[in-house]
Amino acid sequence: MKQHYMIIDVALCFDCNDCFMACKDEHIGNNWAPYTDEQPRHGHRWMNILRTERGKAPRMDIHFLPMPCQHCENAPCIKASNGAITRREDGIVMIDMIKAKGNEALVKSCPYGAIYWSEEAATPQKCTFCAHILDHDPVLTMPRCAHSCPTNAIVHYLLEPEEMEAKIKEEALEVFRPELGTNPHVFYKNLYMYTKNFISAEVLVNGECFEGANVTLSGASAASATTDYFGEFKFDDLADGDYTLKVTSENLEYSTDFTIDGKSLNLGEIILR
C-alpha cells in the first residue's frame, strides 16, 4: 500500500519559518477532531526547526533541520501507548484523542521530542502530516508545511515502499538519528550539514590570497579540492576522527594533522612557503 513520506533538504532550509507558522495557522483555533485537538496558542513545535552553527567567523555556516514527528515504522510512542497511538496503514502515526487523554507520559516516549502536552485539551499532541487534509481536502493535497515552503525544502510523497526504497538510494536520503532504529518516514537530504562537520581555511602565498592550490584530505575520510580566489577551501561531511591536511602548489607545501571532535574547524590563515 502507498505510504506517506516526507523528504526534507537541509541545504534548502533557511529558517524562514513558513512551515512553522503554517502549522500554527492550521491547528491553532481549529479543532480537527478526530485527528487532533486544537493546538495550544503557544509552546508547541509540531514542526521543530533545529539549528546548528558550525565553525568560527568568518568561516562559518548555519544550518537548520526542520523536524516534525518522524512517523516511525518502529515507533517507541506506539509501544508505550497501550493502543492510544497507532500507525495507519498508509504510514501516518496517529494519537487517539480519546484514548490518550490524560496520558502525559507519552510525551517522554518519543526520542525525538516530537510529542507535546496540551494543558487545555489534557492530551498529548503532535504532527499528523495534516492527515485531515490528506484524507478530505480537495484543494490542498499535502501537509501545510510542505505547501508553504518557498524553496521546496519540504516535499511530501505518497509512494509504494519499493518506490521509496529506490528514491532513498538514488538521492542518498538518510534518516535523522538512525541509531534509534525507529525507521522514520521522514527522510533528509544533505543531512551531514546538520550532523557532521567541516574544516576550512585560507591559503596565503607572499601575503596574498592564493587561488588554485591543491588541498588533499586523508585519514578518517579522503577528499581533494583547490583553493578559490580568496585562497579558501572547505571539506564538509566529516565524521569525528583524525585527519591529515596537505596543501601544495608546485614546490610549496604545507601539512597538518587535526582532529574533528564534534566541532567544525576554521584553521584561519595557512601561509604556504
Q: How far is the CB of 119 from other proteins (least distance, A)?
A: 14
Q: How many CB atoms lie within 10 A of CB 219?
A: 15
At closest approach, how far in Å is the CB of 162 from other proteins? Answer: 29
The Cα 94–Cα 77 span in angstroms is 10
Q: Which is nearer to other proteins, 44 or 77 (CB)?
A: 44
Output 46 or 243, the one with its CB closest to other proteins.
46
Min dist. Cβ of residue 149 to other proteins (A) = 9
Which residues contact other proteins (rule: CB under 8 A)? 12, 14-18, 20-22, 24-26, 28-30, 33-34, 41-43, 45, 49, 51, 53, 55-58, 60-63, 132, 136-137, 139-140, 144, 147-148, 150-151, 202, 204, 207-209, 229-232, 269
To other proteins, the closest distance from the beta carbon of 212 in angstroms equals 13
* 231 Rama sector, left if φ>0, alpha if ψ -120 to 50, beta otherwise: left
Which CB sits closer to other proteins, 28 or 166? 28
Sequence-distant (≥ 6) Cβ neighbours of residue 12 within 8 angstroms = 151, 152, 153
Q: Which is nearer to other proteins, 30 or 183 (CB)?
A: 30
Select 39 or 182, whichever has its Cβ closest to other proteins: 39
146 or 164: CB nearest other proteins: 146
State the nearest-atom distance from the C-beta of 147 to other proteins, in Å: 6
Tell me which DSSP letter residue 40 carries: P
Cβ within 8 Å of residue 69, ≥6 positions away: 46, 93, 110, 112, 114, 115, 126, 127, 128, 129, 186
Alpha helices in 97-186 (DSSP H): 106-109, 131-136, 144-148, 161-170
**Nearer to other proteins among residue 25 and residue 253 (C-beta):** 25
Q: How far is 240 from 220, CA to CA, in rounded Å?
A: 8
What is the Cβ-side half-sphere exposure of residue 6, based on CA atoms within 13 angstroms?
A: 29
**Least Cβ distance, residue 194 to other proteins (angstroms):** 13
| Cα dist from 100 to 38, 90, 126, whole Å | 15, 21, 12
Nearest approach in angstroms of CB 122 to other proteins is: 20
Buried b (16+ CB within 10 A) or exposed e, 185-194: bbbbbbbbbb
